Amino acid sequence: MSLADWEVVIGLETHAQLNTRSKIFSGAATAFGAEPNAQACAVDIALPGVLPVLNRGAVERAIRFGLAVGGRIAPRSVFARKNYFYPDLPKGYQISQYELPVVAGGSLTIRVGEADKTIRLTRAHLEEDAGKSLHEDFHGKTGIDLNRAGTPLLEIVSEPDLRSAAEAVAYAKALHSLVRWIDICDGNMQEGSFRCDANVSVRPRGSDRLGTRCEIKNLNSFRFLERAIEFEVRRQVDILEDGGAIVQETRLYDPERDETRSMRTKEEAHDYRYFPDPDLLPLEISPAWIEQVRSEMPELPQAMRGRFQSEYGLSAYDAATLTASLETARYFQEAVAAAGKDNAKLCANWIMGDLAARLNREDKDIGAAPVTPRQLAGLAKRIADGTLSSKLAKEVFEALWSGAGTDADAIIEARGLKQISDTGALESIIDQVIAANAKSVEEFRAGKEKAFNALVGQAMKATKGKANPQQVNELLRRKLGA
């Protein structure tokens, strides 16, 4: 048997840190990068006698997510205690949701190659994050920073619908884009605001029974997610092909060695001894609240993709690329608003082409692009009306990028970049070129097409690139009687 004889089955559990100002059950700040324990209040460090009070902002973000994925928002959900011992969990339990999560079901559409695939979601529930343990040497002790304790998380669980590492990455990227799109999570993976656990198993192709799975924890980049799954699949296939059995366990991905290794034998689910938290009453979400949140939702990427195709005549690929992030979609929409609907395709091409390449080269986000959507629109207009050739347009774009001018028209004016469209002026230049290049003219008449190109080149050179190449072509052919 080979790798191709096995089917990979993956489900992802994603923790999205909700971008509230305060914690889920206390009024302490959630800002990143504070001094250790400066944002850990009496509730977060579990002093005796404190009580949790639920943050309305965290619930509202969960509702927003539920609506965005078409899930069911529970009219009544319950918080539960998940019990385990670890020093960065001062209460001895994590407040989470178990039997009645705030969101059930829903789905997310991902793009796999040329096709769309729908990934079902199991649930999304609210919970609190734990603190951080620092194992560097503090005289043989472990240091505990509880600033992160109590930070609101939305744990989003997918069904085991993913069939490859590439699909898992496509799903994680779509989810990452969505949580930022609806503004519930900043998506900063380096700071741990968005992290994935992958449940991976393999089974012989054609089998409908799930294999024993392993859970790979805390994958905080798309690249690590992909490589960890690829490694884990090979590891499991090797064991099974050697006649072995997979042990259900939690594994950790080590990016330096590019391998996963066993973390601990996972305590069985019932060892967490979940039970409803007596400190918290059931959470009730009224239909009126859901409708209010719905009315404030932005247009979702899926809907926007459809609209870009029908309204602007963009291809499915272009529409998908432009809606990959809210920033890109906003940029495009602002550019089109300024350039006009007829120039939408032109704007799209520039955003996905020159602008994307330049941003990529300088490792910048589109939100920080030195060329504003309005400036790009100004440029597109001058391309559309024939003022700029594509070569001159690139020069104007560079000038806008480096801040050499405030808008395309000012740069065109200041640098005299206007394309020569005056036929009379162009004709006299072409006459000079014909007179000065008798040899090329001779060769062309003898049937050498290459010589014609040389003449076009000479004419372009004489106009410093400002002539419309197509016009030069036509005039030259006419004058040479071709």
Partner 1 sequence: MSLTLDQVRRIARLARIEISTTEAEATRDQLNGIFRFIEQMQAVDTTGVEPMAHAQDVAQRLRPDQVTEQDQREAFQAIAPDVEAGLYLVPKVIE
Amino acid letter at 127?
A: E
User: 253-288 in b/e burial notation, b at 16+ Cβ within 10 A?
Assistant: beeeeebbeebeeeeeeeebebebbeebeebebeee
290 binds partner 1 (CB under 8 A): no
What single DSSP character describes residue 255? T
Span near partner 1 by CB under 8 A; candidates 55-63, 315-323, 415-423, 442-450: 55-63
138 binds partner 1 (CB under 8 A): yes
321 binds partner 1 (CB under 8 A): no
Alpha carbons within 13 angstroms on the beta-carbon side of residue 139 total 0
Choice between 41 and 383, CB closer to partner 1: 41
104 binds partner 1 (CB under 8 A): no
Closest-CA residue to 154 (of 44, 13, 33, 40): 13
Shortest distance (Å) from residue 336 CB to partner 1? 35
Choice between 73 and 348, CB closer to partner 1: 73
Span near partner 1 by CB under 8 A; candidates 37-45, 223-231, 395-403, 420-428: 37-45
- Out of 8, 12, 40, 63, name the contact with partner 1 by CB under 8 A: 40
Amino acid letter at 294?
A: R
- Out of 5, 271, 291, 299, name the contact with partner 1 by CB under 8 A: 271
Span near partner 1 by CB under 8 A; candidates 112-120, 134-142, 188-196, 385-393: 134-142
Which parts of 168-187 interact with partner 1 (CB under 8 A)?
none
Span near partner 1 by CB under 8 A; candidates 82-90, 118-126, 209-217, 406-414: 82-90
- Out of 1, 56, 183, 404, name the contact with partner 1 by CB under 8 A: 56
The string of DSSP letters for 317-365 reads: HHHHHHTSSHHHHHHHHHHHHHH-GGGHHHHHHHIIIIIHHHHHHTT--
Alpha carbons within 13 angstroms on the beta-carbon side of residue 176 total 19
Which parts of 202-261 interact with partner 1 (CB under 8 A)?
none
Shortest distance (Å) from residue 57 CB to partner 1? 3
Pairing of strands 214-219, 250-254: parallel
- Residue 32 near residue 208, CB atoms below 8 Å: no
Q: Phi, psi (5° rounding) for residue 215?
A: -105, 125
- Out of 237, 263, 324, 410, name the contact with partner 1 by CB under 8 A: 263
Q: What distance in Å separates the CA atoms of residue 440 and residue 455, rounded to the nearest whole number? A: 7
Query: Which spans of this chain sit near partner 1 (rule: CB under 8 A)?
Result: 20-22, 26-29, 35-42, 45, 47, 53-59, 76, 78, 83, 85-87, 100, 133-135, 138-146, 263-264, 271, 273, 276, 278, 280-284
